[in-house]
Every structure is written in structure tokens, then in C-alpha cells.
């Protein structure tokens, strides 16, 4: 996805491009074909609603920028209500044909096994990056900066947390500043609530690992339901331990267990539930997590998961031009940068392609405004996200600087429209600025 879009954007800007693709010579456990832009699982680019949905807005922005992935998705779309679902094989074949026939693009069927020392490169090798290249990236970036699995805890929109029940406090009030001492949101549970929560966790439907997906998984973080299976009290002595905390709403009553949420972005609009990575099915997650007092009305920016997924710690490794700080002739794009999903991956390819082409032509592009879907995503991965807890992220309105509108369901529709109107104007201005600079 990302590589195809990056190549298209750079070539359309007038820069010659070579795509190195290891398939079909070297396969992965998920790909089936030798086509570029193969959709490895679902055939959906998710919501196409560009007024009420952040991923729909990203579609719009990519179309406005002449994106190849969106153009071909539209050509091969299948009826799917408000979603952009596509006929996957003709879609991938059409992307491949368009790229192979572009006069400035060459496609070389070979695996890249090292980080090149010179030239301009975009590494867009995705969640199933070839192992030799992954090793080379780890050698360059440090072993701790490359993950082979995501362990995603659910992320909640701050404004959906009931602060009449929850409160802000770090364990034992640790921290030098008031901000550090109140870095966590705490949700208290009584014994009955805890027991009911454990029952629901154990009973919830889980997803299974796919063949080839499991190696190394237990070295990382255990899913909460696996911890609960090891003993009903395990969570109370792990991520849900109630120690070092006093509930200001009920100071004399000690909670039996406490669920903690930690700030997930600089804006303070998103909080992740600490230690709650899970393999529960999405439908089960929403009902189980809404049993947590304070989260009964929670709106989730993303749900938890654990998958095979190669990605780098972009907030520490990349600059705001998506370049590897230690080797600035190499950019990263796509899922390997810590975005999640076909659309987000392609979007980061679009941006990397434009940035690389501009640099080669002696132009510098203005940073993309954070108020656009594209800008919100790239700002998140290159510095907005907390590097210590960095995990792949879908685009969502929680990544955008807030707009000022509140109040109920109607309020939400108005707010989302404000986000998308602002984004469209700013994205068009950015594209216009770029054209003017050419
Ligand atoms: C099993 C699985 C299921 C997924 N399901 C979905 C889903 O349903 N919906 C969704 O939105 N997202 C899904 N994703 C997440 C992600 O959005 C997709 O994987 C998406 O294709 C990522 O785009 P990308 O461009 O970053 O990587 P890819 O589309 O995987 O492209 C990377 C390309 O680089 C090639 N490559 C890798 N290493 C090398 C190398 N060393 N040399 C040369 N070529 C190399 C690969 O063959 C591949 O063609 C899934 C991921 C996985 C692993």
C-alpha cells in the first residue's frame, strides 16, 4: 500500500523511481499473489464518510492529492453501504499495471536485505518485513526500537470518561510536577465489580492466532484474559493493583481493584488502559471494558489487539520529514512507521513520496497541518505519541487538536463536521502552497 502510493506520488512529481518488491520470489504468511498493493485480509478501506469519520476524511485528502490507491479503489468498489469495499484482485492488478506502465517507474522483483548507504530511499516493507532487512533495521535503530508484535491496549477518548467516578493521580503521587503527579486516570472497582469483570473476561470470545503469527509472542506482554486464566487474583496483583491511590470521591473507602489509564498523546485527548492488551473479539471488548466504573460511556479510539507486526519506534527514530534521523537519506512509510490499516499506510506512503520527491528537486515542503487527517497521523508518529508506550494507531479525531463544540449525540455530529471542514480547508491550502512553490 505505502510503497505503491509513494512511488506513484514521487513519479507524478517527476522523479524516477525503482520499486523493490520481494514477492512473488519471497512470500509472507499473509500475501497470496505477486501484485503490488495486495489487501492481505479484509477487502475494505473502511468508512468513506468524509464528514463524520476520520478515515473517510483521509480518503478525501488522498483523493484531493491525486492518490493512486483511492483512485483504483473507487474504480473497483463493491456495494458496501457507507464503506469503501473493493474487488481485491482487480484492484491490486490495476495498481500494479498503472505503476509498471509509468514511464518513470521501474519494478524490480528482489528482496532488499540491508539499509542502503546512499541514494534516496523509502522503506515501506510493512508489518511482514523480510527478516534480513528487519535485522538490519534493528542493528541501525537498536533492538528496543523495532517490534515484531504489537500489544495494543484499548485507547479511550478522554471526553468520554466519567470523571465523577474516576480521578487523576499517579501511584504514590510520584512525580516532580503536578502534571506528573496526576498523570494517570484511575477507575475504582468494588469486590463485586471485580469478580463480575473477571467472569466477563474469561467468558468473552477471543480471536485465535493465524499460523505463522505466534513466534515470540509470550516474551512480550500477556493478554489480560490470559492473566485472568492464570488465577482470579492475578490482575489484582498486576495491572489492576489498588495500591498507592486514594479516591477523592470516596477517600475512606479503599478500592478492591483499580484500572489505570495513561495519557497517550501530547494533546491529552486520548488515554490507553494500562496493561490491557487483549485478544478478545472487538464486540466483546466494548461490552467488557464498559463494565469498568468510569468507562460505562467510553468511546474507544481503538480497541486492543496482539498481532504479528513489524514496526519501528517512530517518535524517537524519525524526524518530521519521516527521515531516519541517523540516516536521513532513508525515509520510512506505511505500517512499519506505527500507523495501522491499509488507508493509513497508503496515506503515509503518499506523504513520504511527496517529501522525498520535493527534497530531490531542491524544494522543502511545509509541515502538513496537524488539523488535517494526514497531518494528525504524521505528527502523532513522529513526536505526538508517547515513545515509551508507542503502539500502532488508526486515524481518529482524538489525534486532532480539539475543536470547540460539545454536548451529546447532536454535538458530536457538529464537532466531527467541524473537524472535517477545518481539515479539508487546511489540506487544500497545503496542497496549494506546495503547487505554488513548484
Ligand atoms: C495478517 C494481517 C492482516 C491485516 N488485515 C488488515 C485489514 O483487514 N485491514 C487493514 O486495514 N489492515 C490490515 N492489516 C494491516 C496493514 O494495514 C496491512 O498490512 C497493509 O497492507 C500495510 O501496508 P504497508 O504498505 O505498510 O505494507 P504492505 O502492504 O505489506 O507492503 C509491504 C510490501 O513490502 C514487501 N517487502 C517486505 N519486505 C521486503 C524486503 N525486504 N524487500 C522487498 N520487499 C519487501 C512485501 O512483500 C509487501 O509487498 C493487516 C496486517 C496483517 C499482517
Which position has the grid cell 503547487? 435
Nearest to 339 by CA among 124, 20, 73: 124
Nearest to 140 by CA among 292, 390, 316, 363: 316
- 311-330: average pLDDT: 96
Report the C-alpha gap between 176 and 351 in whole angstroms: 39
pLDDT at residue 307, as a whole number: 81
Class of CATH domain 2-145+312-437: alpha beta
Q: How far is the CA of 300 from the centre of ligand 1 (A)?
A: 24
Q: How far is the CA of 216 from the centre of ligand 1 (A)?
A: 19
Report the C-alpha gap between 59 and 400 in whole angstroms: 16
pLDDT tens, position by position, 251-297: 999 999 999 998 888 788 999 999 898 999 999 999 999 999 999 99
Alpha carbon 180 to its chain's center: 25
pLDDT at 326 over 90: yes
pLDDT confidence tier of residue 429, bands split at 50, 70 and 90: very high
pLDDT confidence tier of residue 211, bands split at 50, 70 and 90: low
Report the C-alpha gap between 215 and 182 in whole angstroms: 38
Q: Decide: helix, strand or coil at residue 213.
A: coil
The mean pLDDT value of the chain amounts to 92
Question: Residue 133: which region, alpha, beta or left (left: phi > 0; alpha: psi -120 to 50)?
Answer: alpha
Residue 153: other Cβ atoms inside 10 A: 25
pLDDT at residue 280, as a whole number: 95
pLDDT at residue 349, as a whole number: 98
pLDDT at residue 228, as a whole number: 94
Residues of the chain with pLDDT > 70, as a percent, come to 94
Who has greater pLDDT, 147 or 336?
336
pLDDT at residue 409, as a whole number: 56
- 357-379: average pLDDT: 96
Contact 10, 357 (CB under 8 A): yes
* Cα 279–Cα 283–Cα 289 angle in degrees, nearest 5: 75
Of 49-63, 111-125, 252-266, which gets the smallest average pLDDT? 252-266
pLDDT confidence tier of residue 358, bands split at 50, 70 and 90: very high
Of 128-137, 168-177, 181-190, 213-222, which gets the smallest average pLDDT? 213-222
Choice from 5, 128, 307, 346 to test ligand 1 binding pocket (greatest atom count within 8 A of CB): 128
Which residues' Cβ are closer than 6 Å to ligand 1? 1-3, 20-23, 28, 30-31, 40-42, 111-112, 124-130, 133, 308, 334-336, 341-342, 345
Can you state the percent helix, strand and coil of the chain, rounding each to 5?
Answer: 40, 15, 45
Who has greater pLDDT, 131 or 212?
131
pLDDT confidence tier of residue 220, bands split at 50, 70 and 90: very low
Domains of the chain by residue range: 2-145+312-437, 152-308
Report the C-alpha gap between 304 and 240 in whole angstroms: 17
CATH no. for 152-308: 2.40.30.260
pTM (two decimals) = 0.85
pLDDT at residue 436, as a whole number: 46
pLDDT tens, position by position, 302-316: 899 888 889 999 999
* Nine-digit cell string for 53: 469519520
pLDDT at residue 251, as a whole number: 95
pLDDT at residue 406, as a whole number: 61
pLDDT at residue 405, as a whole number: 65
Residues of the chain with pLDDT > 90, as a percent, come to 77
- 121-127: average pLDDT: 97
Choice from 149, 345, 346 to test ligand 1 binding pocket (greatest atom count within 8 A of CB): 345
Which position has the grid cell 506513484? 8
Of 42-51, 247-256, 407-416, which gets the smallest average pLDDT? 407-416
- 18-31: average pLDDT: 95
Signed CA dihedral, 125, 352, 62, 49: sign only: positive
- 217-234: average pLDDT: 79
pLDDT at residue 218, as a whole number: 42
Q: How far is the CA of 137 from the centre of ligand 1 (A)?
A: 17
Amino acid at each position: 500500500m505505502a510503497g505503491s502510493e509513494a512511488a506513484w506520488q514521487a513519479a507524478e512529481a517527476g522523479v524516477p523511481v525503482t520499486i523493490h518488491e520481494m514477492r512473488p520470489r519471497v512470500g509472507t504468511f499473509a500475501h497470496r499473489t505477486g501484485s503490488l498493493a495486495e489487501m492481505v485480509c479484509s477487502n475494505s478501506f473502511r468508512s468513506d464518510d468524509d464528514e463524520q469519520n476520520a478515515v473517510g476524511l483521509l480518503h478525501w485528502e488522498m483523493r484531493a492529492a491525486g492518490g493512486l490507491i483511492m483512485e483504483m479503489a473507487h474504480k473497483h468498489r463493491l456495494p458496501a453501504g457507507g464503506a469503501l469495499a473493493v474487488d481485491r484482485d482487480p484492484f491490486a492488478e490495476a495498481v500494479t499495471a498503472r505503476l509498471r506502465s509509468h514511464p518513470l517507474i521501474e519494478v524490480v522483483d528482489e528482496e532488499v536485505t540491508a539499509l542502503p548507504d546512499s541514494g534516496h530511499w523509502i522503506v515501506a516493507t510493512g508489518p511482514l518485513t523480510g527478516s534480513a532487512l528487519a535485522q538490519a533495521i534493528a542493528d541501525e535503530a537498536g533492538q528496543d526500537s523495532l517490534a515484531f508484535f504489537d500489544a495494543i491496549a484499548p485507547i479511550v477518548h478522554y471526553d468520554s470518561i466519567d470523571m465523577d467516578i474516576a480521578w487523576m493521580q499517579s501511584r504514590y503521587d510520584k512525580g516532580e510536577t503536578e502534571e506528573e503527579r496526576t498523570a494517570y486516570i484511575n477507575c475504582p472497582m468494588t469486590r463485586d465489580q471485580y469478580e463480575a469483570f473477571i467472569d466477563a473476561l474469561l467468558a468473552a470470545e477471543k480471536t485465535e492466532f493465524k499460523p505463522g503469527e505466534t513466534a515470540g509472542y509470550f516474551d512480550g506482554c500477556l493478554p489480560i484474559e490470559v492473566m485472568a486464566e492464570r488465577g482470579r487474583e492475578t490482575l489484582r496483583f498486576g495491572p489492576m493493583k489498588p495500591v498507592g491511590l486514594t479516591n477523592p470521591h470516596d477517600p475512606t473507602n479503599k478500592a478492591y481493584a483499580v484500572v489505570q489509564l495513561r495519557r497517550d498523546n501530547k494533546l491529552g485527548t486520548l488515554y490507553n488502559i494500562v496493561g490491557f492488551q487483549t485478544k478478545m473479539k472487538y464486540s466483546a471488548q466494548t461490552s467488557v471494558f464498559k463494565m469498568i466504573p468510569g468507562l460505562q460511556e467510553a468511546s474507544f479510539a481503538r480497541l486492543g489487539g496482539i498481532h504479528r507486526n513489524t514496526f519501528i519506534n517512530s517518535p524517537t527514530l524519525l524526524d518530521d520529514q519521516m527521515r531516519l534521523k541517523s540516516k536521513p537519506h532513508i525515509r520510512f512509510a506505511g505500517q512499519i512507521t506505527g500507523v495501522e490499516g491499509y488507508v493509513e499506510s497508503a496515506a503515509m506512503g503518499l506523504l513520504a513520496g511527496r517529501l522525498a520527491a520535493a527534497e530531490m528537486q531542491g524544494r522543502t515542503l511545509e509541515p502538513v497541518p496537524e488539523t488535517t487527517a494526514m497531518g494528525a497521523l504524521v505528527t502523532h508518529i513522529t513526536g505526538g505519541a508517547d515513545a515509551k508506550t508507542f503502539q500502532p494507531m488508526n486515524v481518529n479525531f482524538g489525534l486532532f487538536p480539539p475543536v470547540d463544540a460539545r454536548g451529546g449525540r447532536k454535538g458530536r455530529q457538529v464537532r466531527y463536521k467541524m473537524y472535517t471542514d477545518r481539515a479539508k480547508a487546511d489540506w487544500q491550502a497545503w496542497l496549494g502552497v506546495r503547487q505554488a512553490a513548484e
